[in-house]
Amino acid sequence: MNTRLTALLTAIAVLGTSTAAQAGRHDDGVEYAEVVDARPIYRDVRVTVPREECRDERVVYDDGYRGGHNNGGVGAVLGAVVGGVVGNRFGQGSGRAIATAAGAVVGASAGASIGRGTGGYGGGGYREPSYRYEERCTTVQDSSYEQRVDGYDVRYRYHGRIYDTRLPYDPGDRIAVEVNVRPASY
């Protein structure tokens, strides 16, 4: 009797399996249809990628030191006064006026040079600007266009009829279709 019961249960299991597998049918009203064609839909997308662009740039280094300030005018006045006093002390008689004037001219010239930092005792503190090259970098945006898949136009066959749909993904060899059977209205 055990063998009869086993044979009966096996037959029921095989029958149930073949019925459920018929046309890919499920109990929830979803069946599967054969995909005949799936074509990707492309769209152009602008892609921007930042990159760093560097170059060597000449840079002037100048600390602005010119022996204090550029006081060529003040130096000339002070030099003229000092030169005039010195010339006045060394001149005698009618030569005193000439010595005073000559001292003022020489003093004005020396004072102006010192005030500008271009003369006298070691250059008066004047420094030439120095030049160096430094790497300067900026970020630039490189843009290009790429084609990206936006979805798929899908053609599928269900019970001998052909249907078309658009999906956001590639369905593969088969597509799930929802089957809803209702009585026809009269």
Residue 12: predicted pLDDT: 52
Q: What is the token pair recorded at 46?
A: 């602008």
The predicted pLDDT at position 4 comes to 57
- The residue among 183, 184, 157 whose CA lies nearest residue 171 is 157
Q: What is the pLDDT of residue 93?
A: 72
Q: What is the pLDDT of residue 127?
A: 64
Q: What is the pTM of this model?
A: 0.40
Spell out the per-residue pLDDT of the chain, length 186, in tens. Answer: 555 545 444 545 444 444 444 444 455 678 999 999 999 999 999 999 999 999 999 888 775 555 545 555 776 677 666 666 666 677 677 777 776 677 667 767 776 777 666 544 444 455 677 888 999 999 999 999 999 999 999 999 999 999 999 999 999 999 999 988 788 887
Give me 57's structure tokens.
């740039």
Q: Token digits for 12? A: 């029921």
Q: Is 89 helix (H, G, I), strand (E, B) or coil?
A: helix
Q: Please provide the DSSP assignment of 113-174 as one string.
A: HHHHTSSSGGGGGB---EEEEEEEEEEEEEEEEEEEEEEEEEEEEETTEEEEEEESS--TTE
Which residue, 137, 171, 167, is CA-closest to 152?
Answer: 167
* Token duo for residue 66: 């010119």
What b/e sequence results for 173-186 when a residue is b if at least 16 CB atoms lie within 10 Å of its CB, and e otherwise? eebebeeeeeeeee
pLDDT (0 to 100) of residue 157:
97
pLDDT computed for residue 10 by the predictor: 52
Q: What pLDDT, on a 0 to 100 scale, did the predictor assign at position 98?
A: 72
